Structure 1
Amino acid sequence: MSLVKVRKYKLDVEEVLHERGPLATQPLRVAVAVAVVENPYAGRYEEDLLPFMQELRMLGRDLSERLIQALGGKEMVQAYGKAAIVGEDGELEHGAVWHEAGGWAMREALGEPKAIVPSAKTIGGPGCRLMLPLGHIQAAYVRSHFGVAEMTLWDGPRRNEIAFGLAMATGGRIHARLGGLAAADVKGEDGLR
């Protein structure tokens, strides 16, 4: 019997045309895919969380594919991030299983990019808003791609659930102009530059 029991999925896509400046030549598209999952450890302590983490890899693959399709293909993706909101009968460590499961799945789906997948997690209930951090997929020092995507569900997570989310974006902030390593100059050898 699977430890991963999904109650619902949500896919949000936003398109940013400008940030009070001129219209962007290419709009920024940011997508967030979320699955609300029953927490198999709600209300109790479980020493071994690895079986849950391993099973969540399939969910990570599913959410990654939903995002890639929503953004028009993996070649369009320049930034990514992940997050979890754990219902109040769980613990923060139950959301931490997503670090490996969600991050691994996104890397696999995108052809093994080098940069760390930024992440956030919290304890919260229905309607909780979590700002999911974004970073460039090949190089962590690309300042223009430091951004956020909002992850929220009006009816989740419930006390015994976890909302697991992944995000991808087609570029960096609209009108980014603060210098640093440009995306066009990334070598992508070490995940940093």
Structure 2
Amino acid sequence: MSLVNVRKVKLDFEEIWHEGGPLLQEPLRIAVATTVVANPYAGRYEPDLLPFMSELRALGAELSSRLVAQLGGADQVQAYGKGAIVGEDGELEHGAVWHEAGGWAMRETLGAPKAMVPSAKTIGGVGTRLMVPLGHIQASYVRSHYGTCEVTVWDGPRRNEIAFALCMATGGRVHARLGGLAASEIKGLDGLR
């Protein structure tokens, strides 16, 4: 019997044309895929979470593919992030299984980018709002791509559920102008610079 029981999948998409400055020629596009699943360990301590993490890989791959399609292809994606909201009968470690399962899936779908996948997780009830950090897919020090995306589900996660989310964006912050390593200067060797 599978440990992954999906109740729903939610896809969010936004286009940002400006932040009060000049209108962009192409908007920044951000897509978020969130799935709400039953927490197989709600209300009890389970010492071995690895089987759940392993089974979540397929779900991560499916969500990653949906995001890439929404944004027009893997070559359009410049930033990513992941997050989890664990219902009240779970523990934070139940959301941490997404680090490997969700992060691995995005890396696989995007052709093995070098930078770490930024992450956020929390314990919360129905309608909890989580701001997930975004970072450049090839180099963590690209300051212009430090951003956020919002994860929220109006009817979840319920006490015995977890909301897992993956986020991708086509660029950095709109009107970013604070210096640092530019995306055009990435060497992409170590995931940092």
- Tell me the secondary structure at the aligned position of residue 14 of structure 2: strand
Please list the CA deviations of residues 101-156 of structure 1 after superposition, one character each: whole Å capped at 9, or x if unmatched: 00000000000000000000000011100001000000000000000000000000
Q: Which amino acid aligns with 2:155?
A: D
The CA deviation at 1:157 is: 0.2
**Uncovered stretches (5+) of structure 2, i.e. residues with no partner:** none
Q: CA RMSD in A?
A: 0.4
TM (normalized to structure 2)? Answer: 0.99
- Which residue in 2 is equivalent to 1:115? 115
**Uncovered stretches (5+) of structure 1, i.e. residues with no partner:** none
TM (normalized to structure 1)? Answer: 0.99
- Tell me the secondary structure at the aligned position of residue 10 of structure 1: strand
- Which residue in 1 is equivalent to 2:175? 175
Q: Which amino acid aligns with 1:148?
A: T
Q: Which amino acid aligns with 1:173?
A: R
The CA deviation at 1:192 is: 0.4
Matched, 1:11 2:36: no
Q: Which amino acid aligns with 1:24?
A: L
Q: Which amino acid aligns with 1:86?
A: V
- Tell me the secondary structure at the aligned position of residue 138 of structure 1: coil
Number of residue equivalences: 193
Paired-residue identity, % = 77
Matched, 1:76 2:85: no
- The runs of at least 4 consecutive aligned structure 1 residues that moved more than 2 Å come to none
Whole-Å separation in 1 of the counterparts to 2:168 and 2:141: 17
- Which residue in 1 is equivalent to 2:45? 45
The CA deviation at 1:185 is: 1.0
Q: Which amino acid aligns with 1:21?
A: G
The CA deviation at 1:80 is: 0.1
Whole-Å separation in 2 of the counterparts to 1:63 and 1:184: 28
Q: Which amino acid aligns with 2:182?
A: A
Q: Which amino acid aligns with 1:48?
A: D
